[in-house]
Structure 1
Amino acid sequence: MAAPDVAVNPFDTVTMQRALDNRIATSDQRADPSNDQWGVTGEIEFPIGDSADLIYIGSYREFRADESYDSDFSGLDVFNVLPGGGTAINTMTHELRLQGEAFGGALEWLVGGYYSDEDITQSVNFGLGADYDRLVGALLAAGTGGASLNPASPLFAGATPLQTLTGVDPSTVRTTNDYTQSSKSWSIFTHNTLEVAEGLKLTVGLRYSDESKDGSFSQPSVNNDLCPATLGQIFAGNLPGGPGSPLTNSYFGLGCFAFVAPAIGTDANPFPLPRPFTSNFSDEELIYTGKVSYEFASPVTVYASFTHGYKSGGFNLDSTAASGGADPRFASEEVDAYEVGLKAKFLDNAVTLNVAGFHEEFTNFQVLEFTGAQFTTFNVPLAKSTGVEIETVIRPSDNLTINGGLTYTNARYPDNCAGTQTSNNVLSLCGNSLTNAPKWVGIMGATYDRDIGDSLNFFINGQLRMESDRRTSTQAFDPADLTTRTPVPFDVQDGNIKINMRAGLGDIDGAWGVEAWVTNLTNEITRGVTFNTVLRSGSRSAFIQEPRMFGLTLRGKF
């Protein structure tokens, strides 16, 4: 995974693509991540009579991570995550269900309950770097466009405007931000399938879910004299250009950079500085599904289903989430999903064919966006996804299996996606596709396996995946420019084909095995996410997906 430094002409997509293709990633320091995780899971099953089972499934997991890295993804020393912080996640789950059959197998029934408890704590040490002020000078100079504010002034490019203005060296700024979230979830559920007539089955499922979360942001340590001094100069009218200078917002945003700005406890300050918060979120929802299926002539089945689903809301654990008294919470997402389809087997089960058509309508669709200066989480009132999926498995012989699939998906924010909302970051999404949602995805593969003698088994497998163009950014257009709706640069990932292969030799009973494999055989370099480069308006960076990898896997049973 890499984040190429693409701080060039924002429309120079040729240079950007060249950096991506060559996996050019710049950094002023070596990342030093480490993590440790472990977990245990168990399942206990108790037979009850001849037609029911009581099943318990429990798990506990711990995750610990420490990391320090260059957070501006450039060769400049601008903004860093410093050593000493870390993330801890503890998760515990319990599920108890009773399931069985009745009426001679005509009814398959299940009832149960679920409980989970998860605690997240994170401490991050942020610091501005030695090149921060010079970057500010370049940004301010570019922002004046050579106008009367005289970008050649020592306050601007090549100089240190913040230190000149305030007397504070930005490279001394250090801040520790702490984030916590504790969530508890419980639910009761049932899922039942009844064969009401030969071949005709009805399925009904219900799940009542209750979610509660406590979230907080605090700042246990801050060494930032730059922000108060910048605000003092702004209030005194000492900016270049005098009182009412058009650079006021730029000086505030750069002198009080959100991730390191001192957190304030009240809204008395008119500027949107970070604000500590301790808040709670709770929600409940009845989730339900219904399905009718009919088996015409075994094994050909048609079906239609409807599901009302739910994804809990929570907290935006970002330093700026509660700035200016904003609500750090985001709402739960709901979906109504419709599906019709066919499942069939032909030619003595040598051919399997599954066809499905689907339509999903999301309300309060959850979106996470990085703007280049902060993370924002918000809900879009409406999103939709409609498509068709075809899957097939063909077995021409006992040794050869061929699989294929084709999916068409139109996942989009409809033109009326904003509802009654008026915020630009929502309005700019309407009429665009969802992020990383190609219209076409196709797969094709084949596996050949055979026994060698009486004790060995050999196989070789190849898989090909094709996808059409897809957007890789949260926003398709700059939310600040809804009139021209100019596409953001370097957003669309072109369609591509990737090939994976695997071959293995092992014991015929699976006691041991050796497998050689390669993924992305042709080393097709594609983007997973494209985003605004930190603190460089108009510049774009990207995280690439996995390049070609190969290896050897050993398997064994003891």
Structure 2
Amino acid sequence: MFLRWKVEARHRHDTPLHPFTPSPTFALSSADLLNASATEGYQTISNEIRLIGESGRLQWLVGGFYAQEEVDAFTRLEFGVDTGRYLCGLFTANTVASCFNATGFQPASITTSFIGDNNFNPNLVIAGEGSEGIFDVSSRSWSVFAQGTWALTDRFSATLGLRYIDDHKEGTGDNTVDNTVALTDNNSLPPFLGLVNDFTAEVDDTALTGTFNVQYEFTPDLMVYASYSRGYKAGGINLDRTSATVVTPLTGAQPVADPTFDPEFSDNYEVGMKSQWFNNSLGLNLTAFNTEFEDLQILSFTGLAFIVETMPSARTRGVELESYWEPVEDLVFTAGVTYADTEYGSGSLLTQSLPNPPINLTGLHFTNAPVWSGSLGMAYSWDLTSNLEGYFNINGFYGSDRSTSSAQGPDKEQEAYELINFRMGLAHAAGWDLALWCRNCGDTEYYQVLFNSVYQNSATSPNVDGYIGDRREIGLTLSVDF
């Protein structure tokens, strides 16, 4: 019998993020409409203890885990010099001239169900004033776990593991407004500034997760396996202004959204094969998978911030093939292809994205989840001297069409594209490396994300902005190990 114990402890203390102020382009407009800044700090500590042992054909471990985290966040949204006139022109029936009237105006007609004020004065929207939020969340998590692997024969083994998890989170949000005159009707404008409401929230989650798999070795170079696992991701609290769940020009503000979100659970099934052939010069791994999600957590853009929402059900299934081939020493080719069919289940409504009303995701693919993806690569290295090595590698990636936004639609689609990367250089045994490299060598233009424009949208005529992926980069890098 063999026993071994292990204790791990990690601590990370109060790391503030560098404040950002994307002004005035936060609204991706040349007009100074909305400025934002934010800071965040956190403290974390975690500890884990394991006891590992062997007894005959059984290998086992038991252990426990404990973690605490404190997160403090501050956000501020400020009006720009053009905000008042922009709101005036966007939501009233007045002329451009009246919106630029220095003394204000009384409109002949106005969408009162949306604005709620027949005497809107753009000059009361003062640049530099706005709203700010102070948020904090404290969390505590502990778990106990055990796992055992039985070698039933020399070729056949089975593994069973269980983990019990207990999570607790509590948080507060304190929202203030320093331009109270301009925000008298703030409750009618949640897409832009969020409802000025404080909140106290608490989340308690428990879960029992586990894994079971069996594997059989036909030969030392050929193994097949099947596995099942139950996955869990804790619920939490969104650290942001709580906006309305549905807002339209006809209905106005509806009930305020809950800042908390539910835990995510998944049932994962997988069968596969791992193999090596021809004296290990060829490797082939094949996997088929199916995952069913309950309360899938997705990231949603509200127009001012990213928050987490849950979809009641979802699934992903597919096949993945990975391979390598080394025809001669130090020359390696790699290839991989994945077919992944993802789908949101019935009743999947994205409630906090723009434009409102909610978007029905039922039957649609996951965000940034191409059905087909693949990669090809080649790497070669050779000795120039006993201490100097040359190397060369090139690899490519392909992904089919996909939606880049949770708020899906034809205007959020990214067409299929390919990327090619290249690197060659010299590496010395003394620890230095000189490399010439290229990323996106074909200068492919593609969008990482497309989203409804900040502060410039309506439910009937949405505008779309996006972030373009990195274009071609060529560089020379010298690195030295000391």
The TM-score with structure 1 as length reference comes to 0.74
In the alignment, does 2:144 pair up with 1:188?
yes
Structure-2 residue corresponding to 1:518: 438
Deviations 1:1-41 (A, max 9, x none): xxxxxxxxxxxxxxxxxxxxxxxxxxxxxxxxxxxxxxxxx
State the Cα distance separating 1:498 from its structure 2 match: 0.3
Q: Structure 2 CA distance, aligned partners of 1:310 and 1:465?
A: 30
Structure-1 residue corresponding to 2:109: none
In the alignment, does 2:96 pair up with 1:96?
no
Q: Structure 2 CA distance, aligned partners of 1:191 and 1:161?
A: 74
In the alignment, does 2:122 pair up with 1:200?
no
Alignment partner of 2:469 out of 532, 537, 545: 545
- Alpha-carbon contact 2:392-2:423 (below 8 Å) kept: yes
- Alpha-carbon contact 1:365-1:380 (below 8 Å) kept: yes
Residues 375, 344 of structure 1: CA spacing in aligned structure 2 closer, same or farther, 3 A cutoff?
closer
Alignment partner of 1:495 out of 401, 416, 433: 416
Gaps of 5+ in 2: 107-118, 246-254
SS in 1 for 2:183: helix
Residues 371, 86 of structure 1: CA spacing in aligned structure 2 closer, same or farther, 3 A cutoff?
closer
Q: Structure 1 CA distance, aligned partners of 2:358 and 2:145?
A: 35
Alignment partner of 2:387 out of 455, 466, 469: 455
SS in 1 for 2:258: coil
In the alignment, does 2:85 pair up with 1:134?
yes
Residues 552, 59 of structure 1: CA spacing in aligned structure 2 closer, same or farther, 3 A cutoff?
farther
Alignment partner of 1:286 out of 208, 213, 220: 208
Residues 330, 541 of structure 1: CA spacing in aligned structure 2 closer, same or farther, 3 A cutoff?
same
In the alignment, does 2:11 pair up with 1:87?
no
Structure-2 residue corresponding to 1:171: 126
In the alignment, does 2:315 pair up with 1:363?
no
Paired letter, 1:93: S
Give the length in aligned residue pairs.
Answer: 447
Residues 129, 153 of structure 1: CA spacing in aligned structure 2 closer, same or farther, 3 A cutoff?
closer
In the alignment, does 2:452 pair up with 1:532?
yes
Deviations 1:462-495 (A, max 9, x none): 110011011111122xxxxxxxxxxx35211011
TM alignment of 1:104-503, pairs within 5 A: 106-140=57-91, 150-152=93-95, 165-167=119-121, 168-172=123-127, 173-219=129-175, 222-228=178-184, 230=185, 252-253=188-189, 258-259=192-193, 273-320=195-242, 324=255, 326-372=257-303, 377-414=308-345, 416-418=346-348, 428-476=360-408, 488-503=409-424
170-179 vs 544-553, greater mean Cα deviation: 544-553
Structure-2 residue corresponding to 1:144: none
65-74 vs 356-365, greater mean Cα deviation: 65-74
Q: Structure 2 CA distance, aligned partners of 1:544 and 1:358?
A: 32
Deviations 1:337-364 (A, max 9, x none): 1000000000011111100000000001
State the Cα distance separating 1:513 from its structure 2 match: 2.4
Structure-1 residue corresponding to 2:16: 64
- Alpha-carbon contact 1:258-1:274 (below 8 Å) kept: no
SS in 2 for 1:139: helix
State the Cα distance separating 1:183 from its structure 2 match: 1.5
Percent identical pairs in the alignment equals 31
Paired letter, 2:416: G
State the Cα distance separating 1:59 from its structure 2 match: 2.3
Q: Structure 1 CA distance, aligned partners of 2:232 and 2:102?
A: 51
- Alpha-carbon contact 2:348-2:360 (below 8 Å) kept: no
- Alpha-carbon contact 1:204-1:288 (below 8 Å) kept: yes
- Alpha-carbon contact 1:383-1:417 (below 8 Å) kept: no
Deviations 1:119-144 (A, max 9, x none): 21111222111111222233225xxx
Paired letter, 2:85: R
Residues 426, 283 of structure 1: CA spacing in aligned structure 2 closer, same or farther, 3 A cutoff?
farther
- Alpha-carbon contact 1:489-1:540 (below 8 Å) kept: no
State the Cα distance separating 1:221 from its structure 2 match: 5.9
SS in 2 for 1:275: coil
Residues 153, 457 of structure 1: CA spacing in aligned structure 2 closer, same or farther, 3 A cutoff?
closer
State the Cα distance separating 1:521 from its structure 2 match: 1.3
Q: Structure 2 CA distance, aligned partners of 1:139 and 1:52?
A: 72
The TM-score with structure 2 as length reference comes to 0.86
SS in 1 for 2:445: coil
In the alignment, does 2:428 pair up with 1:507?
yes
Q: Structure 2 CA distance, aligned partners of 1:160 and 1:361?
A: 59
- Relative contact order (alpha carbons < 8 A, sep ≥ 6): 1 or 2 greater? 1
Alignment partner of 2:4 out of 45, 50, 53: 53
Deviations 1:282-320 (A, max 9, x none): 101111010011001221011110010001111122212
Q: Structure 1 CA distance, aligned partners of 2:21 and 2:359?
A: 36
Alignment RMSD: 2.7
Q: Structure 2 CA distance, aligned partners of 1:161 and 1:73?
A: 29
Deviations 1:185-222 (A, max 9, x none): 11111222211012101011111111111111103563
Residues 385, 417 of structure 1: CA spacing in aligned structure 2 closer, same or farther, 3 A cutoff?
farther
Q: Structure 2 CA distance, aligned partners of 1:224 and 1:216?
A: 22
SS in 1 for 2:32: coil
Residues 316, 161 of structure 1: CA spacing in aligned structure 2 closer, same or farther, 3 A cutoff?
farther
State the Cα distance separating 1:257 from its structure 2 match: 6.2
- Alpha-carbon contact 2:277-2:283 (below 8 Å) kept: yes
386-395 vs 125-134, greater mean Cα deviation: 125-134
- Alpha-carbon contact 2:192-2:303 (below 8 Å) kept: no
Q: Structure 2 CA distance, aligned partners of 1:322 and 1:151?
A: 27
Gaps of 5+ in 1: 1-49, 142-149, 232-248, 262-272, 477-487
Deviations 1:407-463 (A, max 9, x none): 00011114x2449x9x99776100111110000110000110122221112211111
State the Cα distance separating 1:76 from its structure 2 match: 0.7
Paired letter, 1:354: N
State the Cα distance separating 1:224 from its structure 2 match: 2.8
Residues 530, 457 of structure 1: CA spacing in aligned structure 2 closer, same or farther, 3 A cutoff?
same
Residues 81, 427 of structure 1: CA spacing in aligned structure 2 closer, same or farther, 3 A cutoff?
closer
Q: Where is the strand percentage greater, Structure 1 or Structure 2?
A: 2
